[in-house]
Amino acid sequence: MSDIIHLVPNKWVTEQNLIAVTGLRPGTIERARRESWFAGREYMHVSPDGNPKPNSECMYNTEAINHWIEQQASKQPGAHS
């Protein structure tokens, strides 16, 4: 019998994990980061030395991003208010 390990994503995840849990594509993530998301809310730059720079890896807040996705339900083409 093999052990099954169930992992629950952390609040802050890497882009690879964000893609896995939301289905968003890398290009969608990049564009949302430029046009819709706010640093410190939906994403943040992180650095091993604690001093992130603009080109540092980003971590993503799954709770805030899921909220952003859900807010789009009423804005769907043909959606009724």
pLDDT in tens, 6-61: 878 789 999 999 999 999 999 999 999 999 999 999 999 999 999 999 999 999 99
What pTM was computed for the model? Answer: 0.84
Tell me, yes or no, whether 81 lies in a domain.
no
Q: How many structural domains compose the chain?
A: 1
At 33 the pLDDT is 97
Residue 22 lies in a domain: yes
Q: Which structural domain range is residue 56 located in? A: 12-70
Could you tell me if residue 75 is inside a domain? no
The answer to whether 13 and 45 are in contact (CB under 8 A) is: no
- Please state, in angstroms and rounded to a whole number, the distance separating the CA atoms of residues 28 and 30: 5
14 vs 48: CA distance, rounded Å: 14
Residue 3, in any domain of the structure: no
User: Does residue 7 fall inside a structural domain?
Assistant: no
